[in-house]
Each structure stands twice: as structure tokens, then as C-alpha cells.
Amino acid sequence: MSEEREKRLRLVRIPLANLLVRSPLPQINKLMDAVQRTADCVPELVSLLIAEDFPALERMAREVSNLEAQADASKNELRSRMPVRLMLPVDRRDALKLISELDAIADCAEDVGVILTLRRFEVPASLAQPLQDFVRDVMAVVRSATELVAMTDELIRASFSGKAAERVISQVKEIGRLEHLADKRQDQCAKILFRSEDELSPVAIFMWTKLLNKIGDIANHAENVGDQFRLFVAAS
């Protein structure tokens, strides 16, 4: 057998995972860690709001912006490593969409901090606990998405099939369940807010609605992360 033919046969025997070793997808955990650190500040922002500790709230909002910048740096590094022609375990556009959804979680967390520093929010007494419950449920969605992203390496090694794919789909369903609970909490907060119309100005109602929607968007983007993984498995 010729030396050239032996080389070709050796290439054919290389496992798929080895051909994908240069793919940036396995490094997605670094971005997810930065995103999680940013999102983790949201409960503290809300606690400071309820406590009416506005100087500390301003400081925390600046910290969230710093953490979001770190997440942006991780995102840009991942995108710069995304090859155009190199074989990838998933469609390049889908991988970029996943990166965008992760980045959007951090962006929304930063936006929450920005919104809370635009004006002094008055927290109706009836809203304080439901608001904290809402944030808690939103953070559960983000943590579940973090657990899903941690499965990336295993999923690639399994070529997006088998038990690894089953575990991913199960986790995606759990993210959807948690996001639904967060939606219900958001609806509850909105109802309480509008029952407080006599206490709050129209501008305050508008800003509260904007804040609740932005917090809810964190969970929405976390659910979209799950949808991307579902797409990875379905397309493989």
C-alpha cells in the first residue's frame, strides 16, 4: 500500500470530535460564565431598590456594566474564532445565534441596572415580595441554561446523539418549564402594579412596565438558548 493511501486511510479513521477540535463551540462555557456573573447581579439590584439604598444601587449598576463588558469581550473572542470554512459540529449561523442569545442575557441584566438609575423608583408595598419572587424565578431559568451549556462538550463528543442528546432535550424542556413559571410571576407583578395606579404616576407605571419586561427578557433569552440546543440536536 502506498504511503499516500495510508495517510488517506488514517484521516478517514480520525473520530469526528477530533476534526472539530478547532471549533470555538466547546469554549462557549467561558462566555456563559461571564453571562451568569452579570445576571447574578440582578437580584442584588432589586434588593437595593426595595431597601431604597440608591447610592449602593448606583454602584451595583456600574459593576453590572463592567461585568457586561467582560461578557462582551468573551463574545467577541468567540466570534473572532468562528471559522468560515472549517468543519463545525453545527451550522455556523446557528452557533452565532447561540452566542447572540447568551450575550443578550448579559445585555438585559445591564439594562435593568440602567433603568433603575434613570429615576427613583417607588416600590409599592404589595409589589416588593412578588418582585423578588419574579427575579428568583428568572434567575432559575438562567441557571438552568448554564447547566445546559455545560453539556456542550459531552454533546459534541456524542455527535449530538444518544444519551447525551436525550439529556440535553430533557434540560431544554426544564428551561421551558421554568420560563413559563417566570412568565406567570411577571403577570402577577403586572397585575399588582396596575392595581397601584392610584399610588403611582403614569410615568412611574410606564417605567415599572419597562423594568418588568426587561427582567422578563432575561428569562426569554435563556429559553432561546435552550431552543438553539434543541435545534442542534434536531439538525444532527
State pLDDT tens for residues 121-151. 999 999 999 999 999 999 999 999 999 999 9
Predicted confidence (pLDDT) at residue 16 exceeds the cutoff of 70: no
Low-confidence winner among 6-10, 15-19, 155-159, 215-219 (lowest mean pLDDT): 15-19
Cα(108)–Cα(217) distance, rounded to whole angstroms?
7
- The reply to whether 222 falls in a domain is yes
pLDDT mean over 216-230: 97
Instruction: Please check whether residue 112 is in contact with residue 214, taking contact to mean a CB–CB distance below 8 angstroms.
Output: yes
Say if residue 36's pLDDT is above 70: yes
DSSP-assigned states of every residue in 138-204: HHHHHHHHHHHHTTHHHHHHTTT-HHHHHHHHHHHHHHHHHHHHHHHHHHHHHHHHHHTTTTS-HHH
Instruction: Map residue 124 onto helix, strand or coil.
Output: coil
Assigned domain for 9 exists: no
Q: Flag whether pLDDT at 15 surpasses 60.
A: no
Residue 25 pLDDT more than 70? no
What is the CB neighbour count within 10 angstroms for residue 1?
Answer: 6
Alpha-carbon distances of 8 from 3, 14, 17, 191, rounded to whole Å: 9, 10, 18, 67
CA torsion through residues 210, 114, 71, 149, sign: negative
Q: Does any domain span residue 48?
A: yes
Asked if the structure places residue 3 within a domain, the reply is: no
Q: How many domains does the chain have?
A: 1
Residue 81 lies in a domain: yes
Residue with cell 468562528: 82
- Three-state DSSP state, 122: coil
Residues of 83-94 as b/e, b for ≥16 C-beta within 10 angstroms? eeeeebbbeeeb
Single-letter residue type at 231: L
Structural domain containing residue 54: 20-235
Instruction: Give the other-Cβ count within 10 Å of 56's Cβ.
Output: 15
Instruction: Report the distance separating Cα 172 and Cα 164, nearest Å.
Output: 12
Residue 104 belongs to domain with CATH number:
1.20.58.220
- Convert the pLDDT of each residue in 60-94 to its tens digit: 999 999 999 999 999 998 888 776 644 556 777 88
**Angle, to 10 degrees, between the axis of helix 125-149 and the axis of helix 92-116?**
160
Tell me which residue of 67, 25, 22 sits closest to 45, measured CA to CA.
Answer: 67
